[in-house]
Amino acid sequence: MAKLKFPENFWWGSATSGPQSEGRFKKKNRNIFDYWYDIDKKVFFNEVGPDVASNFYNSFKEDIALYKKIGLNSLRTSIQWTRLIKDFETGEVDEDGVRFYNEVIDEFIRQGITLVINLYHFDMPIELQEKYGGWESKHVVELFVKYAKKAFELFGDRVKYWMTFNEPIVPVEAQYMYKFHYPLIVDGKKAMQVLYNTALASAKAIEAYGEYKKRTGNNGEIGIILNLTPSYPRSENEEDIKAAEISDAVFNNSFLDPAIKGEFPRLLTDILEKDGVLWESTQEELDTIKKNTVDYLGVNYYQPRRIKARETEFDMSSGWLPDKYFENYDMPGKRMNIYRGWEIYPKAIYDIAKNIQENYGNIKWFISENGMGVEGEERFKNAEGVIEDDYRIEFYREHLTHLHKAIAEGANCFGYHTWTPIDCWSWTNSYKNRYGYISVDLPTQIKTVKKSGHWIKEVSESNEIEGWDM
Ligand code: BG6
C-alpha cells in the first residue's frame, strides 16, 4: 500500500502517568495503589509495586531526552494529587512536589516537546478514600477542584494542554462493580454516584480553569481522556442492538455526553431512574456540567465490546448492576492480544472517529492511548540487545491506517499517542506486559530503544506511515 500522509503538525506522541512512572520517592501521601501494595503485595504481578516504577522521579531528564531521541513531539503524563498536595483539606502543597513538577515541565519545554498534563489517573489519595469514600463524596469533588486550582496556578503559565481525568469510567467499574481496584466494592448504586460525581468534578475543574484563564489572560485548553470501547451487537436482532445501545450508554456515552454536550444520555438516566439507582444531583450542579464542556478530547482505544441481549436471568444477589441489560458476547474467531486478553479490532478506531464527527459536533480530538502489551519481550532481543517488536509496529500501522481513512473523510483528529514511551508499571499487572517504545530492565533501570522506537522516529519526521492493506 502507498504512503499515508498525516495532517500538518500532527502529534506523534505517547502517554504515561505519574503513579506508573515516577516511583514513590519523597511522596508525602499514598494513593489507593500505594496503600494496597503496602497491605497486600500478592495482588501485584511478581509482587512488584509502585515504589520505583520506571524511576522517572530520579531520571526524568534522561527519560525526556529519550523521548526526544525517538522523535516524540508531544507527551502526556499526570501530576499525582498525592505528590503535589501535602494537606488535602487546605490544599497546602508539598514543596518537593512543586519543585519536581516544575523541573519536569521546564525540561519538556527545553526539549521542545508539547506536554499534556492530566490531573487524575486512577490515583485517589487513600486518606480521602478511607475518610469519605473517595468519589462517593461531593466533599472530595471540592477537594479535587482545590487541587486542580493549585495546579493551574503553579504550572498554567507553561502547561497549555490540560486534562481533568484519564478514563473516569475505569474507577467506576474497577472500584465499585467488577473488583479489580481497591477497595473492591460491588455496589451499582454507589458506582453510579461515583460516575456522576466524577463528571461533576471534571466540569468544576474546567470551570476553575476558565476562571484562571480569564484572570490571567492565559490561552490554554482543557479536556478529558475517555476510553471509548464501542459496543458491537452480536446480531442485527432488535434485542442485541438494544443491549449494545445500553452498554454504550453506560460505558461510553455516560462521560462522552456530559463532556461534550453538557448532559447525560437520557437512555442511561431513564434506566437508572426506573431501577431506583439514579445519582443524587442538584440543578445547580447540572447547570455547571452543562456550561463547562471540554475544549478537546483524548480518546484511549484498545478494544471493542461484543454485546448480546441477556440469555440468562441477571443474578441480583449482589444488587443492581448495569449488566442486568446486557451480556458480553464471546465472538468466535476474534483476534486477540493473548497476553492482555483484549480483542484486537483496529476498525473500531474508524468507527469512533465517525461517531465523534457525526454525533459530537466534530470536536477536535486525538488518540491519547493505543497500544499492545506483550509479556516476555526479552525473547525478541537481537544481538545488539534491541527488542524487535515488529508485532507492535504492525499493530500501530494497522490502527493508523483506519485512523487515516477517517481523517481523509473529515474527522477532526490531530494526533496519535501510544501507550507508552518507556515500559511502565501497570497497576496489578505491574511489569507483566510491556507497552513501551523503550524497554526498561527493572533491576538496573537501563533503558533501551526498541525497534518500534526507531520506527516512530521515522514516522514522526516524515509525518507519514506505510499504509496497511485493508
Ligand atoms: C489504560 C490506562 O487503560 O491502559 C493505563 O490509562 C494502563 O493506565 C493502560 O496502563 C494499559 O492497560 P494495563 O491494564 O495493561 O496496564
Atom 16 of ligand 1, nearest CA residue: 426
Q: Output the CA 286–ligand 1 centroid distance in Å.
A: 30
Q: For residue 53, which amino acid is it? A: A
Q: Determine the pLDDT at residue 470.
A: 84
Determine the pLDDT at residue 275: 98
Q: How far apart are CA 94 and CA 106, in angstroms?
A: 18
**How is 365-379 classified by DSSP, letter by letter?**
EEEEE----EE-GGG
Closest ligand 1 atom to 302 CA: 4
| CB 166 near ligand 1, within 6 Å | yes
pLDDT given for residue 318 in this prediction: 87
Instruction: Give the pLDDT confidence score for residue 416 in this predicted structure.
Output: 99
User: Which atom of ligand 1 sits closest to the CA of residue 225?
Assistant: 6
Query: Ligand 1: does its nearest atom lie under 6 Å from the Cβ of 426?
Result: yes
Exactly one of 22, 167, 173, 327 is catalytic; which is it? 167
Q: Which residue of 225, 419, 423, 427 sits with most ligand 1 atoms within 8 Å of its CB, as the best mutation to test the pocket? A: 419
CB of 423 closer than 6 A to ligand 1? no
Which is nearest to 364 in space by CA: 402, 410, 399?
410
Cell of 337: 492480544
Question: What is the Cα–Cα distance from 84 to 102, expressed in whole angstroms?
Answer: 11
CA 367 to ligand 1 center in whole angstroms: 14
| Distance of alpha carbon 49 from alpha carbon 34, whole angstroms | 8
Residue from 5, 75, 46, 50 nearest 437 by CA: 75
d(CA 125, CA 31): 4
Measured from the CB, is residue 173 less than 6 Å from ligand 1? Answer: no
DSSP structural state of residue 251? I
pLDDT in tens, the chain (470 residues): 799 999 999 999 999 999 999 999 999 999 999 999 999 999 999 999 999 999 999 999 999 999 999 999 999 999 999 999 999 999 999 999 999 999 999 999 999 999 999 999 999 999 999 999 999 999 999 999 999 999 999 999 999 999 999 999 999 999 999 999 999 999 999 999 999 999 999 999 999 999 999 999 999 999 999 999 999 999 999 999 999 999 999 999 999 999 999 999 999 999 999 999 999 999 999 999 999 999 999 999 999 999 999 999 999 998 999 999 999 999 999 999 999 999 999 999 999 999 999 999 999 999 999 999 999 999 999 999 999 999 999 999 999 999 999 999 999 999 999 999 999 999 999 999 999 999 999 999 999 999 999 999 999 999 999 999 98
Q: Which atom of ligand 1 is nearest to the CA of 166?
A: 6
Catalytic annotation present for 369: yes
* Smallest CA separation from ligand 1 atom 13, residue: 426
- 71 Cβ inside 6 Å of ligand 1: no
Is residue 167 among the annotated active site residues? Answer: yes
Of the residues 427, 432, 434, which should be mutated to test ligand 1's pocket, given the most ligand atoms within 8 Å of the CB? Answer: 427
For residues 157-169, one letter each, b for 16 or more C-beta atoms within 10 angstroms of the residue's C-beta and e for the rest, the string is eebebbbbbbbbb
Q: Is 21 in the pocket of ligand 1 (CB under 6 A)?
A: no
- Distance in Å, CA 426 to ligand 1 centroid: 6
Q: With a 6 A CB cut-off, is 188 part of the ligand 1 pocket?
A: no
Distance from C-alpha of 180 to C-alpha of 37, rounded to nearest angstrom: 13
| pLDDT at res. 381 | 98
Q: Is 165 in the pocket of ligand 1 (CB under 6 A)?
A: no
| Largest interatomic CA distance in the chain | 64
Note whether 370 and 301 are within 8 A (CB): yes
Q: What is the pLDDT of residue 446?
A: 97
Residue/partner pairs of 174-178 with CB below 8 Å, 24 or more apart: 174/122, 175/32, 175/134, 177/321, 177/322
17 Cβ closer than 6 Å to some ligand 1 atom? yes
- Any atom of ligand 1 within 6 Å of the Cβ of 429: yes
Which atom in ligand 1 lies closest to the alpha carbon of residue 17?
8
At residue 170, the pLDDT reads 98
Q: Tell whether ligand 1 has an atom less than 6 A from the beta carbon of residue 240.
A: no
Cα 375 to averaged position of ligand 1 atoms, centre (Å): 14
Question: Of 22, 136, 173, 369, which one is the catalytic site residue?
Answer: 369
CB 45 within 8 A of CB 432: yes
